[in-house]
Chains A and B, each alone.
Chain A
Amino acid sequence: DAKTTQPPSMDCAEGRAANLPCNHSTISGNEYVYWYRQIHSQGPQYIIHGLKNNETNEMASLIITEDRKSSTLILPHATLRDTAVYYCIVRGGATNKLIFGTGTLLAVQP
């Protein structure tokens, strides 16, 4: 599986958009980009995933660059409950394993 690189931490003001970047420069053609988040001492929660088109759901938007080497997760109106570690994971091929990197700790400030 391709490796991902994320900043270790980010701050965001409550009510503002949170933009979390992820680099995955070695991604291959059949690999998807997945985003999960983990609130302290809980199991990870699925947010969104995409292949090459931008995706949006009730939680977030996922913007994938045209060369697919990076992506951005956007939480449009961050709340205090969005404070969590956000993991960007690249997965594809014959495996459905998720290999977690170090993630980004997003701290939403009041």
Chain B
Amino acid sequence: GAVVSQHPSWVICKSGTSVKIECRSLDFQATTMFWYRQFPKQSLMLMATSNEGSKATYEQGVEKDKFLINHASLTLSTLTVTSAHPEDSSFYICSASPATSYNEQFFGPGTRLTVL
């Protein structure tokens, strides 16, 4: 149990285009989902926390107009990288906390974004 999926697993896009990444909790309902970014040879950096039905809370330094997060249901959150540029190329990882277990957090497999 407690599986989190991400789609796509990798994406290549041209500079200036927008890319949407989906995060799904497959066998549980997640009231809270988190989005992280990881550059090569670096640690995970928390970007934002999203709660179902409300606006996401962004970490300091993360542009909310560039990284649009929608958490419209208890099993799906999406991250849209708007007007992507090469410096947005990174590994994007989501995680989800079950509604029944606030302290647990399960991670998705990640999405590799490459912006040309």
Interface residues of A (CB under 8 A from B): 32, 36, 38, 41-46, 49, 87, 96-103
Chain B, residues 61-80, CB within 8 Å of chain A (1/0): the string is 00000000000000000000
Chain B positions near chain A (C-beta within 8 angstroms): 4, 6, 32, 34, 36, 43-46, 49, 91, 93, 95, 97, 102-110, 112
B91 & A41 in contact (Cβ 8 Å cutoff): yes
New A-B pairs, 7, CB < 8 Å, besides A41-B112, A96-B97: A43-B6, A44-B95, A44-B107, A49-B103, A87-B43, A98-B46, A98-B95
CB-based nearest B residue for A105 = B41
A100 CA / B105 CA spacing, docked (Å): 13
Is B103 touching A96 in the complex (CB atoms < 8 A)?
A: yes
Chain B residues with CB under 8 Å of A42's CB are 109-110
Given contacts A42-B110, A44-B44, A103-B43, contact A98 B93 (CB under 8 A): no
Dominant secondary structure of chain A at its interface with chain B: loop
Question: Which of B93, B102, B105 has most A Cβ within 10 Å?
Answer: B105
Assess whether A100 is in contact with B44, with CB atoms less than 8 Å apart.
yes
Q: A43-B107, A43-B109, A45-B107 are in contact. Are A96 and B102 (CB under 8 A)?
A: yes
Contact A44 B93 (CB under 8 A): yes
Q: Which one of B43, B104, B109, B110 contacts A100 once the chains associate, using CB atoms below 8 Å? A: B43
User: What is the bound-complex CA distance between A46 and B4, given in angstroms?
Assistant: 13
Residues in B with CB closer than 8 Å to A43 are 4, 6, 93, 95, 107-110
9 A-B pairs (CB sep. < 8 Å): A32-B103, A36-B107, A42-B109, A43-B109, A46-B104, A97-B49, A98-B34, A98-B95, A100-B46
